[in-house]
Amino acid sequence: MSADLVSAGLLAAGATVERLATGFMFTEGPVWHAPSATLLFSDMPGDVRRRWSAASGVEEVRRPANKCNGMAYDAAGNLLVCEHATSRLVRERPDGGVDVLASHHDGAELQSPNDVVVRSDGSVYFSDPWYGRVEGFGVPREKSLPFQGVYRIAPNGTQSLAAAKDEFDLPNGLCFAPGERILYVNDTGRCHIKAFDVAPDGSLAGGRLFAEGIGSAESTTGVPDGMKTDERGNVWVTGPGGIWVYAPDGARLGVLAVPEVVGNLTWGGPDRRDLYICASTSLYRVPTLVAGNPVPGPVGEEASMPSPG
């Protein structure tokens, strides 16, 4: 079905999904660091974080890595990391310091922060399903809260639920539409994506179904997990067979076929037109005709990578 994406002007005819590296347990959380032209990604079962570059290939960055999952940069070049093993969202500063941004809600430990996005005003949104309390992907333990939610951390550090407690079954990937007026959140358990209006103060409202029927919640074939938007507002989400692509009006444009079950994706490269794909045991790349939606992050050669630790 990748031919549909060619017709939609998203892929060039003959574009291929290239395997860059393999031999991992389960790759996740890719994030591009423009100043160094490198990609960070996690391997939760292996409890390690790695870095890939065209110049050096794959290098180990951190072990143990608290079974980290989703990652994102803020405008100051800090790396925000979802840690399954600790049930925390942390900020790793370029000088090597670590700040805990979120660890509890109403006095109870968070389930296990899974994915994270940063708004241009500095506010942070993250999903909190219980995957990090399962053998392999985290530390086996009971659920800490009676729900699995999506949270917002305001620029002043105040943490709150971003949506109602019963809004999701298993909230997972999340991303902004261009302009940050819409936040998309997918639900692995319900196999759909919801869209929320983002008010100027960062609060969410008007939750509505954007796309549904993204597989059957069978993890061995692919489920809604990682998700990003491109500069045109199309939504790219993991699903059965690879990456499903939806137009801003919710119409499905096609599926980018990937040889393995995909966990997450992100754009990178000099013009942000290289799509990097974390798929089970491997890291892949495919050139696209559209750039990824701009997100906060370090720019310019003066920015530095977080300390490997």
Catalytic residue ranges: 225
Is residue 234 part of an annotated ligand binding site? no
26 DSSP β-pair partners: none
Is residue 28 part of an annotated ligand binding site? yes
Residue type, 122: G
CA separation for the pair 189, 218 (Å, rounded):
9
CA separation for the pair 216, 24 (Å, rounded):
26
- Residue 256's Cα: distance from chain center in Å? 17
Residue 64: cis peptide before it, omega within 30 degrees of 0: yes
Rounded to 5, what percent of the chain is helix, strand, coil? 5, 45, 50
Three-state DSSP class for residue 128? coil
Residue type, 15: A
Q: Quick one: which of 195, 203, 201, 152 has its CA closest to 177?
A: 195
Strand duo 116-118 + 79-83: pairing: unpaired
Is residue 114 part of an annotated ligand binding site? yes
Q: Which distant-in-sequence residues (6+ apart) come within 8 Å of 135 by Cβ?
A: none
Is residue 225 part of an annotated ligand binding site? yes
**Plot region of 208 (φ>0 → left; ψ -120 to 50 → alpha; else → beta):** beta
Annotated binding site for a divalent metal cation: 28, 172, 225
